[in-house]
Chains A and B, each alone.
Chain A
Amino acid sequence: MIIALEGYWAGQGCVLAQPYHTELAAGTMSPNTFIRCLGPKAWKIAYVEPVIRPLDGRYGENPFRFQHYFQYQVILKPAPENVLDLYWASLEALGIDLKQHDMRLVEDDWEQPTLGAWGLGWEVWCDGMEITQWTYFQQLGGIDVDLVPAEMTYGLERLAMFLQGKRTAFELEWAPGVTWGDVYREAERQWSKYNFEEAPVDVLTRRFDEHEAECMQLLERGLPIPAYDQVLKASHTFNLLDARGAISVTERAVYIGRVRNLARAVAKAHVEAEREAEDSAVAAA
């Protein structure tokens, strides 16, 4: 399935990237999306992203909720006029006969407060199952996008359940004779225990402050891309603290505000750095 998607989107001229090296709560958070969707340069990319959402773990007991799963993320910036047709064709490349199924685009507007980001779009339904989150970004890091990108985020487990006709993710065939459950279920149990019960609150609280400080320092030194990694780490640390129940509702809003401020500062610094580079390139020419 992943290979089919890779082949299809490579054929559409996308860069094929690999998963990022730190915990992300969504494929959108990868710099391959967040950073690259800012500014005036065109960009096409596709990649698998494991996403980590500590709060969503259920100890491997609930076959529909996990703290770790996979997304396939595609960005087309700017969104071409036939972008939806390209998307439908990607489903055909997966072997889905669109005429056989009840395909629908159901309004679902996306907002990520920690990134100061929002967009309008849909969930794509295939016979009632949400298989893709589809968004036209409008703002990232509090900055209006120059070129409106289309983001297509395929839920790989859901898609695989649909294609394999399996009722739960546990039963998915990951390789001949090996199920998703064989590969991930025990990890789900252990991670849930860590996320909800064992993650060290005082260490994480301190770590959040450190990531925040490091981010600001890196920005002062003109390094928005490494600074962005600190935003991601701060964000994941916050998610862990949240899952651990260590954050009250009031504190929660404050933490979200702190991450958002970092994301905004990075977005602003990146856009400025890109503009400066462009100006000096023009000057040199």
Chain B
Amino acid sequence: MPSLLLEIGCEELPAAACREAERQLPELARAHVGAEPSEIFVGPRRIGFLIEDLPARTDDEWVKGPPESLREQAAAGFAKKHGVGVDQLEARDGFLGVTLPGRELVDVLPEQLDRVLRGFSFGKTMRWDESGLRFARPVRWMLAKLDAQTILGETSFGHRFTHGLVEIPDAHEYADALRAVDVEPVAAERRRLIVEQLDAIGGWSDPGGKLDEVVHLVEKGSVLAGRFDERFLQLPERVVVTTMQSHQRYFPLGGNRFAVVTNGGEPETVRAGHTQVLEARLEDATFTFERDVAVGIDALAERLGSITFFGGAGSFAEKADRVQRLAGRLGGGDASNEAARLAKADQASELVREFPDLEGYIGAEYARLAGYPEAVTKAIEEQYLPDSAGGPLPETEPGKVLAAADKLDTLRVSFELGHKPSGSRDPYGLRRAAIGLNRLAVEGGLTIERELLPDEVRDFVEERLESLLEVPVEYVRAARASNVPDLGGLARRAEELYRERDSSAFDGVYTAYDRAHRLAGRARDEAATSLDRGLLVEDAEKALAEALAKVAIDGNGDLEASLESGAQLAPLMERFFDEVLVMDEDAAVRANRLRLLLDVRDTLGALGDFSQIPR
């Protein structure tokens, strides 16, 4: 059975479009050619696939027509539509129909492959000629081969400058034919070759994650190592690395060395050229850095009034004020206060305008150069931590306070403006901020009062806790309803409830809560607003009320002791239900008894909402 090669030749595709094509090609092959590709080709100037063992003809197709009973009325029309005579219709299972013979693959492929071409969906597309076809970049050739037979186009093309037209003798020889003309058509193989060369040089790193893009910036990729002038090592290291990576997509090799993945050229010439460009970039960064330093962190902080945090959220100066206040409420001392004042100053710096990734880091550097103490500069540097789900937390206390205050403010302001994340849209990174806040409380041991979170924000943040803790969600939900005052305490409460779930004290409290809740929870409207001891008639209810008054539940204290205390109510509740009829005929007595039960529930409820926990 024959093999099919398709190559769509393009002008240089963006890396993102290459990745989109790579994901979509298998599905497009299945949808339009009806088979699984055995190889996918993706690179800046071509995308395509190889499908092996395609049937040389498409299958015969049975087209079902009208029921036999309608032969008189409908058969003629159906036969005509399919270009056959009425007498050629066959009957199957009570229906008339026609068998359309399969077609030669070579006849159907041009249409099928055109559907593949039109089937891509890129994030950004363009037109380039009168055909009106939209694609990520102009399509300049198509080549399709069925074994040695050419279905579409004529030839392929090798590396743009070293090789021109390339004959592809057979679908199977495509990849090898291209490898002979400085093109590696398989992205994974190209990546492997690049990494192999980088490893051979050694000591390379890619903190900015540029490799994924670089793989699609070259047709094959030769790696060269270069050295820049050592005087640029006076710049903070991350400025050097960011300069290398963000514009030029170079890989730092440590010290003044760098690696560049090239697309060809004479190595010495190319190395010299890249080195000169990098030195010019570093010199420019030096100018920018020195200008910022000359202005100084304090003067930069004063310029924040004219820089918007985001639409509707005021300026960075206002943000800094709010963060400063929140840092105070989070128990921050002088260092956090000072750090909060300066934290956003680098937003006014030229270097952050040029390299947004340097925010925080460069502000800390400028503060250090202005003579601020380590506690302040470190906090500035740590303010965006943790910046990923498993990323490190700030190490210093002022850093934790500042990081929490910053996230808290972003959450509060965003929710106030109605920028709640929806689906995958979370432009202000609120999920990350909420998770960060929880981690600062749980892992970082920072006391974050739940009061600081407005209701909606509190729900949003605490919901994130459900997936963060290794405790069934019901226990987290139960704990959320407790009167624990801070986020970290809330997490501990959920864990403790889970740990105590089989103890007898837990069982006593659970049962008392559950019975009170089941009976009185739904009759809330009928309950008296407060307990009237004068209306207590039966001994059992008097005893319960008395015991309830003695129960000591410390919302923020030792759960075990509170459970022990609360569990004292269990036998009294049992007696109460045995001896007392809650739904008394006298409305006042009834209302008072309901109140008593609600008081039991609410007193125990300070430990958590036990109704969340299934039994």
Contacts and interface: CB of A to CB of B under 8 A. Distances in A.
Interface of A: 58, 61-65, 78-79, 81, 84, 88, 98-107, 109, 119-120, 122, 126-129, 136, 138, 147-148, 162, 165, 167-168, 245, 248-250
B228 to A, nearest CB: 12
Contacts of A88: 160-161
Nearest to B127: A148
Contact of B265 (A100, A105, A167, A245): A100
Contact of B284 (A62, A102, A128, A138): A62
Contacts of B162: 99
B262 A245 contact: no
B161 A136 contact: no
Contacts, number: 112
Interface of B: 11-12, 14-16, 44, 124, 126-130, 136-138, 140, 160-162, 217-218, 248, 260, 262-266, 269-270, 272-274, 276-280, 283-284, 287-288, 306-308
B287 A102 contact: no
B270 A101 contact: yes
Nearest to A84: B11
Contacts of A100: 265-266, 269-270
Given A84-B11, A104-B263, A107-B14, A64 B280 contact: yes
A167 B124 CA distance: 36
B264 A103 contact: yes
A126 B267 CA distance: 13
Task: Name A's interface SS.
Answer: loop
A106 B266 CA distance: 20
A90 to B, nearest CB: 14
A101 B279 CA distance: 18
Contacts of A98: 161
A47 B12 CA distance: 26
A129 B277 contact: yes
Nearest to A64: B284
A105 B17 CA distance: 14
Given A79-B128, A104-B218, A62 B306 contact: no
A57 B418 CA distance: 40
B433 to A, nearest CB: 23
Contacts of A129: 273, 276-277
Contacts of A168: 280, 283
B128 A245 contact: no
Nearest to B262: A102
A102 B221 CA distance: 10
Given A79-B129, A106-B217, A109-B124, A136 B138 contact: yes
Contacts of A128: 248, 260, 273-274, 277-278
Contacts of B279: 167
Contacts of B127: 138, 148
B14 A102 contact: no
A127 B138 CA distance: 24
Contact of A101 (B129, B265, B283, B288): B265
Contact of A107 (B15, B161, B266): B15
A127 B44 CA distance: 18
A99 B279 CA distance: 24
3 closest Cβ pairs, A-B complex:
A127-B273, A107-B14, A105-B12
A62 B287 contact: yes
Nearest to B250: A128
Contacts of A136: 126, 128, 138
A127 B269 contact: yes
Contact of B129 (A64, A81, A126, A250): A81
A223 to B, nearest CB: 31
Given A100-B266, A104-B218, A136-B126, A249 B283 contact: no
9 contacts: A79-B128, A99-B265, A106-B12, A109-B124, A127-B265, A127-B270, A128-B273, A168-B280, A249-B307
The CB with the most chain A CB atoms within 10 A, among B128, B272, B306, is that of B128
B126 A122 contact: no
Contact of B273 (A106, A109, A122, A126): A126
